[in-house]
Amino acid sequence: MEEVASKVLSTKPTLFSYFRSSASWRVRLVLALKGIEFTYQAVNITKDGGAQQYSEDYAKMNPMNRVPALFIDGKCLGESIAIIEYLEETRPDTRKVFPSDPYLRAKARQLTEIINSGIQPLQNLEVLNKIEDELKGDRKEWAQHFIKKGMNAFEEIIKETRGKYCIGDEVSIADVCLIPQCFAAERFGVDLATFPNIKEIRDSLTGLPEFIAGDLKSQPDYVA
């Protein structure tokens, strides 16, 4: 039994990811920060690429039809924040992404949720397609509105909590969420110059080796 457990634990995890997906990007960053090796399995979520998140096989792994999904320890997990928490709890000897101080941990979670609940779901592909195709709205204007609102709040909060990074001088889950969100903001035409603290932290993070490894350009399915 012990032998089976150690075999499962030693098998490399598989990350189902799309290079541009911000939620997948968060998990890639945490795997890199924690030094966890994994196999990359591309899932093309675009219509032209087959919308593979809707395939029968993938839907069994993540019934929300979203990337990422992580196959790890013989189990499958969806939702990037749940995955990151699982990695933090099951790999206690690896680098922590949640601050140990309860107040700072709550602040890190507050920043995380601004992006995870307050911005990303509103700029997600399925939502934007519905806004444009069915409701005949302007997807860019819609996305910009929620990105600016969330990033304004994020900027205000980090004025108090920041050091080199969002929470003091240690990289945390807030930074992990921020980096892909900055990419999405610029993609939708939001100028980061409006958010000087976010921009400065983004610039400090992007040079770190773990952030280079997790970057969209470093992924096997990257397309310019």
Ligand X SMILES: N[C@@H](CCC(=O)N[C@@H](CS)C(=O)NCC(=O)O)C(=O)O
Binding site for ligand X (CB under 6 A): 21-23, 45, 53, 65-68, 79-81, 116, 124-126
Q: How far is the CB of 23 from ligand X (least distance, A)?
A: 4
Q: How far is the CB of 66 from ligand X (least distance, A)?
A: 4
As a whole number of angstroms, the distance between CA 135 and CA 203 comes to 37
Q: Are 68 and 83 in contact (CB under 8 A)?
A: yes
Long-range contacts of 35-40 (CB under 8 A, 24+ apart): 35/94, 35/95, 36/87, 36/91, 36/94, 37/12, 37/13, 38/12, 38/13, 38/14, 38/70, 39/12, 39/13, 39/14, 39/15, 40/14, 40/15, 40/219, 40/220, 40/221
21 versus 172: smaller Cβ distance to ligand X: 21
115 versus 171: smaller Cβ distance to ligand X: 115
As a whole number of angstroms, the distance between CA 44 and CA 67 comes to 9
Beta bridge partner(s), residue 76: 71
Which residue is associated with the tokens 């799309």?
18
98 versus 162: smaller Cβ distance to ligand X: 98
Q: How far is the CB of 120 from ligand X (least distance, A)?
A: 6
Q: How far is the CB of 10 from ligand X (least distance, A)?
A: 26
Q: How far is the CB of 16 from ligand X (least distance, A)?
A: 10
22 versus 162: smaller Cβ distance to ligand X: 22
Q: How far is the CB of 3 from ligand X (least distance, A)?
A: 33
27 versus 162: smaller Cβ distance to ligand X: 27
Rounded to a whole number of angstroms, the CA Rg of the chain reads: 18
83 versus 104: smaller Cβ distance to ligand X: 83
